[in-house]
Structure 1
Amino acid sequence: MAVTPNNDAEDNFVYYNGRKLRKGFTTGTTATAATVAAIRTLLNQEPQDTVTVHAANGKVAIFGVEQTNFDKSKASCAIKKDGGDDQDATDGALIFATVELRSDNEIHLDGGEGVGRVTKAGLANRPGMPAINPTPRRVIKEAARKELGANRGADIIISVPEGKRIAKLTYNPKLGIVGGISILGTSGVVTPMSESSWKHSISIEMNIHRKRGDQALVLVPGNYGEDFAKDELGISEAKIVQMSNFVGYVLHEVQRLKFNKILIVGDLGKMIKVSAGIFSTHSKDADARAEVMVANLALMGGVPTEFLRQIYGCLTTISMIKLINEAGYQGVYQIIVDKIKQRAEKLLAHREPHVTVDAVIFSRESGFLAASKPIEEIKGEWQ
């Protein structure tokens, strides 16, 4: 575990839904520590038990050195990534830095095994570069320069032996980063349950689409929406971006990045919230599914109060759908999908560019429910 000079200090923790969670350190800070440990080992010709470094935001971090190998010309040290209480795919991974002195005073930094390579334009690094982002790249090289002094140089290679496997659990495959994980961290500190990095990843993916000339996107909440868009609507995966629960954020990003057309495809359980103007669909922020369904059924007219009470008592939209289909009130789905379109367009109104919005809702149990225009027309536009 990485520690700080005062582990009990309040700035080492964050409170989330009433829980006190410990902050951790990014892959960038961990790679910096590995680099410093390797340089000190090489210059002193003796292994280091611990190493102290500064994260990008200046916070002091103390790491134990997990593995060391060295001779007179090269040293390699491993530091274990400590993400604190954040559920991060890279937590616990060993990050290695291998350092070899140069005959000049230049510092060269590259990625080795398990560090991804950029293949698409639109990311912070150019295609062909290792996925070591600008801030950690700067921090690693500054720390190396401090250890080496002004007159010595070094070749530094950052590697993560488990990186290729771990990368499958991250956004990297969708971002066109192949072969491993990214060395990340604008602050150098991991804040547990932070949504900012997740949103940032979505924005990066959207920017890749714009860089390649796309003007239209299909937005889905997650894997179910993506599978439905591909399997039932025949839409290419290359047109799809997962927006998670951040519907409002992603819609604003659509406009900021100057897309002019979107199709929202999602399960009713998520999308019914959007129809009521709820643009953060995580249950921690809002769960008014029953209330929204009851209101729309009531506005149809002729729906018995007892039936509305039954719907209100349902715990899931799946159970609502079963009752609605049995009673013949399927018209409510069209009302809801039309409101999804209207709410999204209203959110983006009065700003440029104008964004055309359509929507499709489905159920994992019963399949297609409704679309904002004829489904065959949507398929023709997006296939």
Structure 2
Amino acid sequence: MRDPVTGFVYPDAWVERCQDPYRLHLAEEGLAVLTASGTVLVRGYTTGTTAAAACMAAVLTTDGPPALSVPVTLPCGLVVDVPVNADGGRATARKFAGDYPDDVTAGIEFVASVLPAAEGIQIRFGEGVGRFSRDTPRYKKDAPAVSPPALACIEESVREAMESAGLPGVRIELSVPEGRAVGEKTLNPRVGVLGGISILGSTGLVEPWDDHLTESSLSRISAARRPVLTTGRVGLRFARLRFPEDEVILVGGKIGESLAAVKDEAILFGLPALILRFIRPGILEGTGYGTVEELSVSPAFGPIVKETLAGFARTNPGVTVILIDREGTIIGERA
């Protein structure tokens, strides 16, 4: 059985340990994760998926019947039915967190309202959607905190709904009434996003994390000859391209536990933020930059990374560190 989201082939022993056929089916469909103990953890929906569902439902009900769910095509390619409450061109959708108890955005409501337009798609991100307080390498000041994959998912969902409803154009207002308060509980203020939450989602799904999933990842790491440990979806995608013969394992922020499970050699691969903060927690001190991403496009990045990785190599000689940017280009490496 293969996970259609990550591509990981579940060992037969894991499948045999699962005593819940329904949840096992969810894992087979990519909507959940099977762990080494046989426990199945359900994936949630990202803020991007939830926003896309609200916008899609609002468009579909502009001149159509009320809707209680809509089929959203996720960035990872899966199609999921997302619950909504929609009628008369106005829709709400609540974020489903799955088995991720620490998701502070769980249950938060997205509200979309639609008016017809002459042509095209116009989306205004309103109250509760965070905005950048300064220019960053990827966003300009005052731009809404909406990632490209999430925006593409929203626009594609709206486009599908427009074709179904026969509308040549729409104007959509998307808001998150609780977004300002919830955004304060996230990392947004630390990275310069104020006034609300971010709308994100590289796959459209939220990965569950608990002791069972950590145990499964550690089992995979300890069994691999040279595991490639990556912290996120961007790293996962490019790691598979660069190391097709090795076991690539998504570890998120659990870098320390993962490295402790390595038997001999490993590769730590991915975007620089989590990796550098793990290796050198105070890496931004005295730099004048608020995030590792901002530091990464500055002249100071090269010398700081060289020093940081050299120190790490002395204490971890079996770990190769490879840092990449979002296009997969290597921006730091130390064996």
TM-score (norm 1): 0.52
1:203 aligns with 2:254: no
1:98 aligns with 2:118: no
User: In the superposition, relative to structure 1, how do residues 130 and 162 fare at CA in structure 2: closer, same or farther (>3 Å)?
Assistant: same
Match of 2:257 in 1: none
Flag the structure with higher helix content. Answer: 1
Could you tell me which runs of 5 or more consecutive residues in structure 2 were left unpaired when the two chains were aligned: 1-21, 214-230, 234-251, 254-269, 323-329
User: In the superposition, relative to structure 1, how do residues 15 and 108 fare at CA in structure 2: closer, same or farther (>3 Å)?
Assistant: same
SS of residue matched to 1:173:
helix
Question: Is the CA contact 2:146–2:198 (under 8 Å) kept in the aligned structure 1?
Answer: yes
Match of 1:277 in 2: 315
Equivalent residues in 2 for 1:56-135 (5 A)?
Answer: 56-65=75-84, 67-68=85-86, 70=88, 75-86=89-100, 87-102=102-117, 104-135=118-149
Alignment length (residue pairs): 243
User: How far has the Cα of 1:17 moved from its partner?
Assistant: 6.9
Give CA-to-partner distance per residue, 1:195-238, whole Å, 9 cap, x none: 4266788739x9xxxxxxxxxx99864xxx79xx9xxxxx6695
Question: Is the CA contact 1:124–1:134 (under 8 Å) kept in the aligned structure 2?
Answer: no
The percentage of counterpart residues that share the same residue type is 27
Question: Is the CA contact 1:114–1:180 (under 8 Å) kept in the aligned structure 2?
Answer: yes
Could you tell me which runs of 5 or more consecutive residues in structure 1 were left unpaired when the two chains were aligned: 207-216, 230-234, 244-249, 266-273, 280-342, 356-383
Q: Structure 1 counterpart of 2:49, which letter?
A: T
SS of residue matched to 1:259:
helix
Match of 1:178 in 2: 194
1:261 aligns with 2:304: yes
Equivalent residues in 2 for 1:169-318 (5 A)?
Answer: 169-193=185-209, 195-196=231-232, 203=273, 221=281, 238-239=288-289, 258-261=301-304, 277=315
The alignment yields a C-alpha RMSD, in angstroms, of 4.5
| Cα distance in structure 1, aligned partners of 2:125 and 2:280 | 33
User: In the superposition, relative to structure 1, how do residues 172 and 196 fare at CA in structure 2: closer, same or farther (>3 Å)?
Assistant: same
- Of residues 12, 21, 28, the one that matches 2:48 is 28
Question: Is the CA contact 1:110–1:158 (under 8 Å) kept in the aligned structure 2?
Answer: yes
Give CA-to-partner distance per residue, 1:43-92, whole Å, 9 cap, x none: 21x32122222111221111222x4464xxxx221111112112322121
Question: Is the CA contact 2:96–2:106 (under 8 Å) kept in the aligned structure 1?
Answer: yes
Higher Cα Rg, which structure = 1
TM-score (norm 2): 0.58
User: How far has the Cα of 1:125 moved from its partner?
Assistant: 3.4
Question: Is the CA contact 1:131–1:183 (under 8 Å) kept in the aligned structure 2?
Answer: yes
User: How far has the Cα of 1:93 moved from its partner?
Assistant: 1.1
| Cα distance in structure 2, aligned partners of 1:11 and 1:56 | 13
| Cα distance in structure 1, aligned partners of 2:94 and 2:331 | 47
User: In the superposition, relative to structure 1, how do residues 42 and 174 fare at CA in structure 2: closer, same or farther (>3 Å)?
Assistant: same
Q: Structure 2 counterpart of 1:111, which letter?
A: F
User: In the superposition, relative to structure 1, how do residues 69 and 144 fare at CA in structure 2: closer, same or farther (>3 Å)?
Assistant: same
User: How far has the Cα of 1:135 moved from its partner?
Assistant: 1.4
Q: Structure 1 counterpart of 2:315, which letter?
A: G
| Cα distance in structure 2, aligned partners of 1:256 and 1:12 | 42
Q: Structure 1 counterpart of 2:204, which letter?
A: G
SS of residue matched to 2:110:
strand
| Cα distance in structure 1, aligned partners of 2:81 and 2:300 | 40
User: How far has the Cα of 1:261 moved from its partner?
Assistant: 3.1
SS of residue matched to 1:89:
coil
